[in-house]
């Protein structure tokens, strides 16, 4: 499934870019992420916990930054994570673009997400809603981290 999300952060673009390219720091702003550690230059290992009602999903995997184009203010990432207990996982390609907004910067995230196995049975709108909720909280955390 593909979808696009947006949020506006009241911070100017260059500063936001620097912050977003620091993956471990950004990881800490995502609700449900515990640790993010570098594996090598572009790859990071981490975990994400999400809940659907009483069902707890614990994804463990890697995120790789495939491209960072500061001149175009665009970055592309690939993520792969599994929940070994439930027997399912996600494969995602993300493209992040920063565009100046009236106040600060608009972050546009284009995601191409495949949800595999048991988790995939929840259906797209549930997953999309979870992604929207995650983004809302992520944006709140970003603003809190950057607007001191």
Partner 1 sequence: MNAFDFRAPRTLDEALGILAEQGDDGRAIAGGTALVTMMRQRLLRPACLVSLREIAGLDRIQAANGALRLGALVTHREAETAALIRERLPVLAETFRSVGSVRIRHMATVGGALAHADPNQDPPVTLMALGARVQSRRAGGDRELPIDEFFRDYYQSALEPGELVTGVTVPLLPPASGASFVKFLPRTADDYATVAVAAVVALEPDGERCREARIALGSVGVTPLRARAAEALLRGERLGEPSVRAAGEAAKGEVDPLTDHRGSAAYKREMAAVMVARALRQAWEAAQRAARGRPDAGAPR
Binding status of residue 2 toward partner 1 by CB under 8 A: no
What x/- string results for residues 106 through 145 when contact with partner 1 is judged by CB under 8 A? ------------x---xxxxx--x----------------
CA dihedral 5, 87, 37, 53 (to 10 degrees): 50
CB of 124 to partner 1, least distance (A): 6
# residues contacting partner 1 (CB under 8 A)? 14
| E-state strands within 10-118 | 33-38, 43-52, 55-69, 74-83, 88-100, 105-117
Q: Tell which residue, 9, 58, 12, has the closest CA to residue 35.
A: 58
Binding status of residue 52 toward partner 1 by CB under 8 A: yes
Binding status of residue 34 toward partner 1 by CB under 8 A: no
Binding status of residue 15 toward partner 1 by CB under 8 A: no
């Amino acid at each position: 499934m593909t979808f696009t999300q947006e949020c506006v952060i009241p911070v100017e673009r260059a500063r936001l870019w620097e912050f977003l390219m620091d993956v471990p720091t950004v990881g800490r702003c995502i609700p449900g992420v515990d640790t993010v550690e570098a594996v090598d230059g572009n790859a990071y290992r981490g975990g994400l916990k999400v809940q659907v009602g009483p069902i707890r999903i614990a994804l463990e995997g890697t995120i790789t930054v495939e491209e960072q184009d500061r001149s175009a203010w665009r970055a592309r990432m690939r993520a792969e994570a599994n929940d070994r207990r439930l027997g399912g996982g996600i494969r995602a390609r993300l493209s992040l673009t920063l565009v100046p907004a009236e106040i600060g910067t608009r972050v546009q995230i284009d995601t191409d997400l495949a949800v595999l196995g048991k988790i995939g049975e929840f259906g797209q709108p549930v997953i999309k809603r979870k992604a929207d909720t995650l983004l809302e909280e992520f944006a709140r955390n970003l603003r809190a981290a950057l607007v001191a």
